Amino acid sequence: MSKEYRQRIDAKNNMKIEQYLSDMPMLVDKYVTSTARTKASRTMLSYIQKIRHFLEYMRANHPAFDGKTLSDITRVELDQITIDDAEDFLAFLFSHQLDCIDKTNSNNTVENYISALNSFFRFLSKREEITKNPFEDVQRYHKKVTKPLFLDKKESLDFYDHVMTGEGLSKKEQMYRDKHDISFRDYLICKIMGTTGIRVSECVGLNLDDIDFKNKSLSIIRKGKKKAHVYISDTLARELTEYIEDVRPLFHPLDSEQALFLVSVGKYKGCRLTVRSVQRLIKKYAIAAGVSNASEFSPHTLRHSFAMNAMKESGGNIRLTQQLLGHESITTTTVYVQALDDELREMRNKMDPNE
């Protein structure tokens, strides 16, 4: 993956972080300085947004914060937050947002808040800025584990065919594809994610020199800024060679542009394709291909598909699948074990000729 691309994403997130920190308590700034080394910039930004939300809630609901601006808040006020205050805030989250628009938050959302706030107050507690972490013993709202949406091998081949041919697209969409020569580009984007399991951010971050044609591998940067290599098939390597030699030049990139996948039209023609653009094009092709739950289809569906097919091909080898996906914890990978077991259970009657 392009180091420069990752640096641009981090710079954008870090700029937003600095904007948030400009009027927040000094202790939040210290927390960010200490924690940013071990967390992705996107995660850090999300944590700060949630900490800010909580502190705004405290200003509106806790007497110790009355009349305080965010930047006025010190360890004195933070040390007066109790577990009851923490649980009141979590109850608030289930029915409201900060802007007072009625909206019920999911267990996942609340659990994400707990993770962020627990991290912040644990930092303060360890450094004896406060006497106790108010979020340490709150009730956890465990994330609901849902069966991942995925395509089996046959469905994946059918999906790739629809991307390549454009079958199922509207006439207008077909004309756009043909005019801007994007069919092969779109096909390779989908196939890379579906056959390597890399994330959409890792895919759009690929540079030309991230492809090792000799060893049939791609260099990427995983979550947590960890470098990794994933292997590609001989067929995909040949297709990438064809794309780089015959298709990519049609987008007229500058000599300095090293991104593998480029914008095809407009003022950003020849520049790196964005995550959002890939998300849109994948959903478009899913609808065209008539896949189940097409409205929920996303780049991560292709990652799920890779994971499920890896589980099947490896005989349920969860450790191998964990390594292929780059999961730090095997717990994250266990969702595919359950999904595979569900498939086996559904097959039980199909194996009996009397059923």
The answer, yes or no, to whether residue 31 has pLDDT greater than 60, is yes
Q: State the Cα–Cα distance between residues 145 and 334, nearest whole angstrom.
A: 10
Are 81 and 160 contained in the same domain?
Answer: no
Split into its structural domains, the chain has a count of: 2
Mean pLDDT of 235-255: 96
In this structure, is residue 133 part of a structural domain? no
pLDDT at 220: 93
Are 99 and 161 contained in the same domain?
Answer: no
- Domain final residue pick, 71, 91, 126: 126
Are 179 and 96 contained in the same domain?
Answer: no
Are 18 and 105 contained in the same domain?
Answer: yes
Can you point out the beta strands (E) in 93-225? 211-212, 217-221
Are 219 and 179 contained in the same domain?
Answer: yes
Are 195 and 286 contained in the same domain?
Answer: yes
24-33, 324-333, 341-350: which has the minimum mean pLDDT?
341-350
Q: What are the DSSP calls for 58-102, one per residue?
A: HHHH-GGGTT--GGG--HHHHTT--HHHHHHHHHHHTTB-TT--B
CATH number of the domain encompassing residue 284: 1.10.443.10
Q: How many CA atoms lie within 13 A of 256 on its CB side?
A: 1
- Backbone torsions φ then ψ of 262, nearest 5 degrees: -120, 155
Mean pLDDT of 97-110: 62
What does the pLDDT look like over 1-16, one tens digit per residue? 556 777 888 899 999 9
Are 340 and 242 contained in the same domain?
Answer: yes
Q: Which H or E run includes 34? A: helix 26-35
pLDDT at 347: 52
In this structure, is residue 248 part of a structural domain? yes
For Cα atoms 310, 43, 70, give the angle at the middle one, nearest 5 degrees: 165
Mean pLDDT of 172-180: 93
pLDDT at 208: 96
In this structure, is residue 32 part of a structural domain? yes
In this structure, is residue 141 part of a structural domain? no
The answer, yes or no, to whether residue 236 has pLDDT greater than 90, is yes
Are 330 and 202 contained in the same domain?
Answer: yes
In this structure, is residue 131 part of a structural domain? no
The answer, yes or no, to whether residue 80 has pLDDT greater than 90, is yes
In this structure, is residue 134 part of a structural domain? no
The answer, yes or no, to whether residue 100 has pLDDT greater than 50, is no
Mean pLDDT of 306-318: 87
Domain extent, residue 243, equals 153-347
pLDDT at 349: 55
Are 163 and 290 contained in the same domain?
Answer: yes
pLDDT at 237: 97
Mean pLDDT rounded to a whole number for the chain: 88
Are 160 and 278 contained in the same domain?
Answer: yes
Are 206 and 114 contained in the same domain?
Answer: no
Provide the annotated active-site residues.
199, 223, 300, 303, 327, 336
What does the pLDDT look like over 247-305, one tens digit per residue? 999 999 999 999 999 999 999 999 999 999 999 999 999 999 998 888 889 999 999 99
Q: Give the pLDDT band of residue 101 (cuts 50, 70, 90).
A: very low
In this structure, is residue 169 part of a structural domain? yes
Q: Give the pLDDT band of residue 83 (cuts 50, 70, 90).
A: very high
Q: State the Cα–Cα distance between residues 340 and 337, nearest whole angstrom.
A: 5
Are 341 and 203 contained in the same domain?
Answer: yes
In this structure, is residue 89 part of a structural domain? yes
Q: What percent of the chain is predicted at pLDDT more than 90?
A: 66
The answer, yes or no, to whether residue 348 has pLDDT greater than 60, is no
pLDDT at 142: 65
What does the pLDDT look like over 189-214, one tens digit per residue? 999 999 999 999 999 999 999 999 99
